[in-house]
Amino acid sequence: MSPVHEVLTSLASGAVVIHDLTAPLSADTPTLVLPEPFANLIDFSIEQVSAYNEPGPYWKHHNIHTGEHIGTHIDAPIHWISGREGKDVSQLDPARLVGPAVVLDFSAEAAADPDFLIDIEHLVTWQEEHGAFPANSWLLFRTGWDQHGHDQQAFLNLDENGSHTPGFTADCAKWIAEELDISGIGVETVGIDAGNAGALNPPFPMHYFLLGADKYGITSLKNLDKLPTHGAMIVVAPLPIVGGTGAPARVLAMVQK
């Protein structure tokens, strides 16, 4: 039996199950809000063109309008100034969009402090307990933030001092980008940086270091609590937009039952 046949047989028998890590995409999907003078992307919207009527008697179809970085999406290297000479989303290597998924649970820390920042020592300690991160893996950071995915205000957690969502220290972002042989990271929040990351040095360090190192980021994930710490396989399927800095993506995980 070939390896591919083994996977298909396991799916057919139910020995392997698929979990959808993608947040539904609609006009209600929480989106990033940048302060002035920065420009924001348009939110997702859908426009009916026909519905089994005169404009299209046998079919129903729509136009969609959306920014690249809306909902569950991937950040390509050219999204950030540090990766401006890198790949657009249509050029991402498919072999790096499928790989081992490693789930790191920081939900307790984020519940205690929404501004919690993951540091190098957290990841070193994890590896001491569980082993090294596999090559080509995706590190998925569970913070419990997907529980707010239905509520824009709670999801962004904005006040007069800015947004308060968990993320990474600048040192940790640099270490992940330069020291780990991974394909990318995934988070449950609206972006791969913490809500207050504009105040770090450099600003938005996960964007700066990760994308500058030809690694990728995916955001607004959900259902990470259904995955094991390690042993799952992730499939990241973005729209291959030529010249795109990112794209909405369907993200799936295969898990042994």
Q: What tokens were used for 179?
A: 């020291």
CA-to-CA distance for 92 and 207, rounded, in angstroms? 16
CB-CB contact of 198 with 206 (8 Å): no
Structural tokens at position 55: 């404009």
Catalytic center residues: 79
With helix as H, strand as E and coil as C, how does the chain read?
Answer: CCHHHHHHHHHHHCCEEEEECECCCCCCCCCCCCCCCCCCCCCCEEEEEEEEECCEEEEEEEEEECCCCCCCEEECHHHCHHHCCCCCHHHCCHHHCEEEEEEEECHHHHHHCCCCEECHHHHHHHHHHHCCCCCCEEEEEECCHHHHCCCHHHHHCEECCEECCCEECHHHHHHHHHHCCEEEEEECCCCCCCCCHHHCCCCCHHHHHHHHCCCEEECCECCHHHCCCEEEEEEEEECCCCCCCEEEEEEEEEEEC
